[in-house]
Structure 1
Amino acid sequence: MKKLWDIIIKESIEIRYKDFSSLPENINGLYIYDQRLGPLIILDKGLHHSYRLHKCVLAEEIGHFYTAARTNVLTVHTSANLQTMESQDERKAGQWATDFLIPDKEFVKALEAGCRSCFELAEYFDVTEWFMYRKLDFLKMCFRRTKDSLP
Structure 2
Amino acid sequence: MLANLNLFELAQEEGIIVDWFPFRPPLLGYYWCTDSGQAVIGLCEEIQNDKKATRSILAEELGHHYTSAGKFTTQHHYRYRNRLSVSRCEEKALRWAVETLIPHDELQEAYSRGITNPWDLADYFDVLEETIHFRLKIAQLKGELKRLIKYICDECEKEVEDLDFPESWVTMIDKTAYSLEEKHFCSWSCLSDYRQRENALLKKKVI
TM bin, normalised by shorter chain, reads 0.7 to 0.9
Residue 67 in structure 1 maps to residue 67 in structure 2: yes
Verify the 8 A CA contact 1:60 1:94 in the aligned structure 2: yes
Matched residue, 1:82:
none
Measured in 1, the distance between the counterparts of 2:77 and 2:16 equals 18
Matched residue, 2:10:
7
**Displacement, 1:9?**
1.2
Alignment of 1:74-113 (within 5 A): 87-113=87-113
Shift in CA distance, 99/2, structure 1 to aligned 2, threshold 3 Å: closer
**Displacement, 1:93?**
0.4
Instruction: Tell me which stretches of 4 or more aligned residues in structure 1 moved more than 3 Å.
Output: 69-74
Matched residue, 1:28:
28
Shift in CA distance, 8/43, structure 1 to aligned 2, threshold 3 Å: same
Verify the 8 A CA contact 1:14 1:37 in the aligned structure 2: no
Write 1 or 2 for the structure with the bigger share of helix.
1
**Displacement, 1:46?**
0.9
Q: Kindly provide the CA deviation profile for residues 51-108 of structure 1, in whole angstroms up to 9, marking residues without a partner as x.
A: 110110000000100002396447xxxxxxxxxxx81110010000001110110000
Matched residue, 1:78:
none
Measured in 2, the distance between the counterparts of 1:2 and 1:114 equals 23
Measured in 1, the distance between the counterparts of 2:43 and 2:36 equals 19
Matched residue, 1:114:
114
Matched residue, 1:19:
22
Alignment of 1:32-51 (within 5 A): 32-36=32-36, 38-51=38-51
Structure 1 unaligned segments of length 5 or more: list them: 75-85, 145-151
Number of residue-to-residue matches in the alignment: 131
Identity %: 28
SS in 2 for 1:20: coil
SS in 1 for 2:97: helix
Q: Kindly provide the CA deviation profile for residues 119-140 of structure 1, in whole angstroms up to 9, marking residues without a partner as x.
A: 1111111111111111111222
Bigger Cα displacement from structure 2, 108-117 vs 130-139: 130-139
**Displacement, 1:143?**
2.6
**Displacement, 1:16?**
2.2
Point out the structure with max Rg over C-alpha. 2
Matched residue, 1:127:
127
Q: Partner amino acid for 1:6?
A: E
TM-score normalised by structure 2 residue count: 0.58
Task: Say what the alpha-carbon RMSD is for the aligned residues.
Answer: 2.4
Shift in CA distance, 61/50, structure 1 to aligned 2, threshold 3 Å: same
Measured in 1, the distance between the counterparts of 2:123 and 2:41 equals 26
Matched residue, 1:80:
none
